[in-house]
Amino acid sequence: MVITVLSGKGGTGKTTVSTNLALSIDNAQLLDADVEEPDSYIFIKPDFTEEYEDVNRLIPVINNDKCTSCRKCIDFCQYNALAIMLDNVLVYPEICHSCGGCARICPEGAISEQEKTIGSIKWDHADNILEFWQGELNIGEESSIPVIEQLKKHIDPNKNVIIDAQPGTTCPTIEAAIDSDFCILVTEPTPFGLNDLQMAVEVVRDIKKPFAVIINRSEEGYDDIIEKYCKKEGIKILMKIPFMRKIAQLYSTGIPFIEEMTSWKEQFVIMYKGIEEELS
Amino acid sequence: MKIIVTAKNNSGIESELDPRFGRANYFVIVDTESMDVNFIDNSAAEASSGAGVGAAQLVADQKVEVVISGNFGPKAFNGLNAANIRLYASNSGTLAEVVEEYNKGNLKQLSNATNSGHVGIR
């Protein structure tokens, strides 16, 4: 089973949920797909060593001897990654989506494609029970999708897979969630939390994934805002992680809270089994 | 001489300068002597990515030598530079005022992008 942990709003507790869940269940594989700012490693403390995998993608290269400045490639590119200035075609690699269309459409055969490294995949080389993988987008790159795609190739179908997605409701979040069996939406009981949860719900409904909600920093008297919405929409609340100084303190020192508050381990296991039952 | 100034609205020479180049509402071709204006919709403004490149292309295709706006991102700057277009900075005022300042030689020519660029529609 593959579960993606996402949230509309950033900072609601995706990493808290992903890491603690992955460390609680048996035979787990955790993938940090928040490739612009991966942070699960802070809690997992992996041994990445020097070995890693490059993420490459193809970028057009213009042969100026063959180019006749016909502009067909410029008109074709939906992302404005090409421009023509004084009869020279300029390539903006950082906004190119590597679709290869310009090379195909060029009537002169003046465009070829060259690999460019845009990120990396790292993994825990230590012999830990939890298998951990992380995608990283290089600084200055705009599209994280190829990194997430390559990271997902390492999904082990025999494992209980947890994917920590990027916050928001745009392509990278969808890419992380699109192949999963279930989505956990993490939110907090604030108006911002609710607003962004509603957006995340729209997304998972659009991509037709079964899902449920976890309220993080849960507090009596405040949870109403999320509970009312979930009740109205028929959304299950899987778990409430309390707003507690101890959890915050452990977080700030890079310790997954299940390690010190061990009864929570059982709670994550029960929740996971509940999801499994729901899907079977 | 014909130059391009970015504008927020389309009300002739009294339109206000748009300080954003890539996502400006209009590019206005202004004749610096007659003050005749010709408005062009910035079709690149709504692009989710590469608005600066698209806008630079639109402007370069008008074959002008000078563009006045408030801020040019790095991609727009490089594109316009490659087209040998000179860029001048002005932050506010009507087109008439901005062009008058340009004619007097009071505007600063830019040698670098004015901001580091960003992603997303306004």
Burial class (CB in 10 A: 0-12, 13-18, 19+), A87: exposed
Q: Is B83 on the interface with A (CB under 8 A)?
A: yes
Q: For residue A233, which phi and psi values (nearest 5 degrees)?
A: -90, -5
Walk across the sheet containing A160-164 and list its strands.
A53-62, A111-123, A131-137, A28-32, A160-164, A2-6, A182-187, A211-218, A237-242
Give pLDDT tens digits for A135-145.
Answer: 999 998 888 99
Q: How far apart are CA A180 and CA A197, in angstroms?
A: 19
Q: In Å, how far is B3's CA from the nearest CA of chain A? A: 17
Q: Residue B112's pLDDT is what? A: 76
Residue A133: band (very low, low, confident or very high) from pLDDT cuts 50, 70, 90: very high
Give pLDDT tens digits for A42-81.
Answer: 999 999 999 999 999 999 999 999 999 999 999 999 999 9
Residue A189: band (very low, low, confident or very high) from pLDDT cuts 50, 70, 90: very high
Q: State both tokens at A188.
A: 């907090």
For residue A104, how many other CB atoms are within 10 A of its CB? 10
Q: Is A81 on the interface with B (CB under 8 A)?
A: yes
Q: Is B58 on the interface with A (CB under 8 A)?
A: no
Q: In Å, how far is A242's CA from the nearest CA of chain B? A: 35
Q: State both tokens at A87.
A: 């009869």
Q: Residue B121's pLDDT is what? A: 46
ipTM of predicted complex: 0.84
- Average pLDDT over all residues of chain A: 96
Q: Do A80 and B82 touch (CB under 8 A)?
A: no
Q: Give me the half-sphere count of Cα atoms (radius 13 Å) on the Cβ side of residue A250.
A: 16
Q: Is 90 exceeded by the pLDDT of residue A246?
A: yes
In which residue ranges of chain B is pLDDT below 70? 116-122
Q: Residue A254's pLDDT is what? A: 97
> A151, A135 in Cβ contact below 8 A?
yes
Q: Give me the half-sphere count of Cα atoms (radius 13 Å) on the Cβ side of residue A18.
A: 36
A-chain residues within 8 Å CB-CB of B45? none
Rg (CA), chain B: 13
Q: Is 70 exceeded by the pLDDT of residue A127?
A: yes
Q: Do A81 and B53 touch (CB under 8 A)?
A: yes
Give pLDDT tens digits for A2-54.
Answer: 999 999 999 999 999 999 999 999 999 999 999 999 999 999 999 999 999 99
Q: Residue A140's pLDDT is what? A: 84
